């Protein structure tokens, strides 16, 4: 097979040790020599001490990965033969793909790339990005020739942050390679750690496209129920009651309205639409769904303000408590959280907003969004309470404890259906 040494003897380097890279490095580290690489030296020190701030991997998991080491020095991974890149692929302020982390990681790997090496990308991209954007960087920096001196694969990540039921080995993995032999090699590599099995796509572009539409499909389904929630609200119909009734049909999909953020669902569709527009096609359905979901923060704040005014609460200067800042429940991930849209809109109306989140890192919230988290909200002072994230701590509190934060006259807006209809004043 192209003269490659046996797969089991090849050292693996995992580039980027976030929500995706660390679980991957841990699983590989249970079976083979692996070096986890990250440019953040503080992150390396943290992991070396057995701690993971993302809470995706516990100390016991790190302990089981007996062949895993960590480094922030590029020269330490120069002896590896397989490089797996798991860096973020965000969007910029104009909602355009930002491949900067991916291209910088490719430059780094290009400096240590050798003949016979394999580079596998896991980051979400548009179809063609691996071979059209990343490979030229690898060739330029290394001086090697693609599919002659080195080879590439693509195996899209399917990590769901905070989900303890669906872990990396339990999620079927799509694999692909730049040649038939490479595809077999990539598939065999992941088959060693994925107990749920693998699916070998016919090309890298197919695997890239499969990944980007997984979250685009979810985005559109959520956009539909968000639009339905807006319509039903105008009709005075409870959306949750409608969805429960419709859900009695066997093939009705159980999506719920809400804020759509995070590193996947709120981002991936823009990668697909960017590539579509580059081909001369202007996507309509996908972008319509994005507009609806991107506008939900302003809609939620507007509904909150209307409810407060109906209770004769002066919004300008009112104290409002937002419970939850992370993009999803029971997870410290703040990337692309759309709770910030609700906060910004309420502040535009003149409200003084406090934010409390037992999962979020206070320093990260301040750095990324300029938000000072409140560690212990005061009782009896808030004219408005927005239950924005369904953390288990908030679920366990119940309506009485949550309402205790409110003043004598206040509005409780439950975005996550944590409370019953009778226990909240407002919900999506």
Torsion of Cα atoms, 360 then 361 then 364 then 370, to 10°: 70
| CA–CA distance, 264 with 196 (Å, rounded to integer) | 22
Count the helix, strand and coil residues of the chain and give each as a percent rounded to the nearest 5. 40, 15, 45
| CA–CA distance, 175 with 177 (Å, rounded to integer) | 7
List 80, 134, 152, 264, catalytic entry: 264
The burial class, CB within 10 Å (0-12 / 13-18 / 19+), for 411 is: buried
- 331 carries an active-site annotation: no
Reading the block at residue 257, the tokens are 């309205």
- Torsion sign (Cα): 301, 307, 309, 314: negative
Buried b / exposed e across 159-195, counting CB within 10 Å, b at 16+? bbbbeeeebbeebebbbbbbeeebbebbbebbeebbe
What are the catalytic residues?
264
């Amino acid at each position: 097979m192209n003269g490659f040494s046996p797969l089991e003897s090849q050292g693996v380097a995992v580039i980027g040790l976030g929500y995706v890279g660390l679980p991957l490095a841990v699983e590989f580290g249970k079976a083979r020599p692996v070096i986890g690489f990250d440019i953040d030296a503080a992150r390396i020190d943290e992991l070396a001490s057995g701690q993971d701030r993302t809470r995706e991997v516990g100390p016991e998991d790190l302990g089981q990965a007996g062949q895993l080491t960590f480094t922030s020095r590029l020269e330490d991974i120069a002896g590896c033969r397989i490089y797996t890149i798991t860096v973020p692929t965000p969007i910029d302020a104009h909602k355009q793909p930002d491949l900067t982390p991916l291209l910088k990681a490719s430059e780094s790997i290009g400096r240590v790339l050798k003949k016979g090496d394999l580079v596998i990308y896991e980051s979400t991209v548009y179809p063609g990005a691996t071979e059209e954007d990343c490979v030229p960087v690898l060739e330029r920096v290394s001086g090697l020739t693609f599919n002659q001196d080195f080879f590439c694969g693509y195996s899209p990540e399917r990590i769901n942050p905070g989900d303890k039921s669906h872990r990396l080995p339990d999620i079927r993995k799509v694999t692909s390679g730049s040649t038939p032999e490479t595809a077999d090699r990539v598939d065999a590599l992941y088959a060693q750690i994925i107990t749920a099995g693998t699916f070998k796509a016919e090309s890298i572009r197919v695997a890239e496209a499969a990944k980007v539409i997984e979250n685009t499909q979810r985005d559109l389904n959520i956009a539909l129920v968000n639009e339905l929630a807006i319509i039903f609200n105008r009709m005075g119909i409870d959306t949750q009651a409608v969805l429960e009734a419709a859900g009695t049909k066997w093939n009705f999909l159980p999506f719920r309205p809400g804020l759509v953020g995070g590193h996947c669902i709120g981002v991936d569709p823009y990668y697909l639409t960017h590539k579509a527009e580059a081909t001369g096609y202007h996507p309509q359905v996908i972008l319509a769904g994005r507009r609806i979901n991107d506008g939900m923060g302003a809609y939620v704040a507007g509904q909150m303000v209307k409810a407060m005014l109906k209770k004769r609460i002066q919004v300008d200067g009112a104290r409002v408590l937002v419970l939850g800042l992370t993009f999803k429940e029971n997870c410290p991930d703040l990337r692309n959280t759309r709770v910030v849209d609700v906060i910004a809109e309420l502040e535009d109306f003149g409200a003084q907003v406090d934010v409390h989140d037992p999962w979020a890192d206070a320093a990260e919230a301040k750095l990324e969004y300029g938000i000072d988290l409140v560690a212990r909200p005061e009782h009896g002072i808030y004219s408005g309470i927005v239950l924005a994230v369904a953390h288990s701590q908030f679920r366990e509190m119940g309506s009485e404890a949550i309402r205790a934060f409110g003043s004598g006259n206040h509005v409780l807006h439950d975005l996550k259906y944590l409370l019953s209809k009778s226990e909240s004043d407002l919900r999506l």
